[in-house]
Structure 1
Amino acid sequence: MTSSKIQDQEWDQLKELVSAILIHAGATGRTQLTENEQDLVALWKLEKEMQRGGFLHFFCSGGNAYFAHAKRCLDKLGAKKCARIITAAFQIIARVTKGFLNVPLNEIPVYLSEEELERLNELDEEYRKYSMDIRKQLPGLFESRSAI
């Protein structure tokens, strides 16, 4: 089996696990999940949005609420480079969201400079390069959800 097929299977397993967690949470919502479950859901959200459009897409679709959990999950997985990269991206976004308290998420790009947008694109590429490290750690997540 090729490396990309294995990674696709790992991604599918992560999606299935997160779906099961969210279904189990039901109407109680994400806040009723354990800390570890919230971290895993946040990692899934990060990975999904990175595939769709990068950090800008992640943060514009509510990623601020997931940031701390995603970073903590990356730290637990030992994905130090990815944790550093997401923190750098968050700092760029935080300048806008903390400076303008009522900025709608979809308007964040309007308030970023060209340099910040370019830096986010660089961080997207850097994250994607190292995110394969995360996928290598995924099998361990399925063996014991409590390990995350």
Structure 2
Amino acid sequence: MDIRAEFEKYSFDVVDKLFSEFDGDLSKMTVPEQEVVRIWRLEADMYNGGFMQFFCNWGYENFVETQKVLKKIEAVKSLALITECEKIISKLKDDDRVKALWDIPKYLPEYITEAEDNRLNELDELYWTNVDDIQKIAYDVYLA
């Protein structure tokens, strides 16, 4: 089996375990399992809807913890990409209208320039080029 596919299967198994054994409580998993869940969240959402989907689905705390995982596994390009994305969207962090994470896309256009909006799209597209080959790196860290 291709190592990328093997890690992907493993990550799905770990996410299944999160719900089947721990009722979705990430804190009950081992640290490596938590890290795998965070990688799964990042990969699944970034490739599905981009950074906004990843951030709005999982929140700031997950974002910070995912940054730590990317640093640990040395996925430095992906780390830089998501960090730049968060910096752009953070302009509305003090907006009282933002009651839920999915309010961010609703009000973000009021805070960012067209160039910043274009940059968010560019960063998503750059991520989609698989800049770090996270599946391979993660295989080497968690399964090899």
Provide the rounded CA distance (Å) in 2 between the counterparts of 1:53 and 1:43: 15
The residue aligned with 1:99 is 94
Query: Which residue, 21, 24, 32 being the options, matches 1:36?
Result: 32
The alpha-carbon distance between structure 1 residues 134 and 28, as it changes in their structure 2 partners (threshold 3 A), is closer
Contact map agreement 1:10 1:139 (CA 8 A) in 2: yes
Provide the rounded CA distance (Å) in 2 between the counterparts of 1:13 and 1:28: 17
Contact map agreement 1:49 1:55 (CA 8 A) in 2: yes
- The residue type paired with residue 29 of structure 2 is L
Q: Is 2:53 the counterpart of 1:62?
A: no
Contact map agreement 1:38 1:69 (CA 8 A) in 2: no
Provide the rounded CA distance (Å) in 2 between the counterparts of 1:60 and 1:106: 5
TM-score by length of 1: 0.77
Structure 2 unaligned runs (5+)? Answer: none
Q: Is 2:48 the counterpart of 1:52?
A: yes
Aligned Cα RMSD in Å? 2.5
TM-score by length of 2: 0.79
Provide the rounded CA distance (Å) in 1 between the counterparts of 2:120 and 2:53: 11
Q: Percent identity?
A: 34
Provide the rounded CA distance (Å) in 2 between the counterparts of 1:124 and 1:70: 16
Contact map agreement 1:46 1:63 (CA 8 A) in 2: no
Structure 1 unaligned runs (5+)? Answer: none
Contact map agreement 2:56 2:102 (CA 8 A) in 1: yes
* Structure with more helix by fraction: 1
The alpha-carbon distance between structure 1 residues 61 and 39, as it changes in their structure 2 partners (threshold 3 A), is same
Query: Which residue, 48, 62, 84 being the options, matches 2:80?
Result: 84
Alignment length, in residue pairs?
139
Greater mean deviation of Cα atoms: 68-77 or 130-139: 130-139
Q: Counterparts of 1:5-44 in structure 2 under 5 Å?
A: 7-24=4-21, 26-27=22-23, 29-44=25-40
The SS at the match of 2:20 is helix
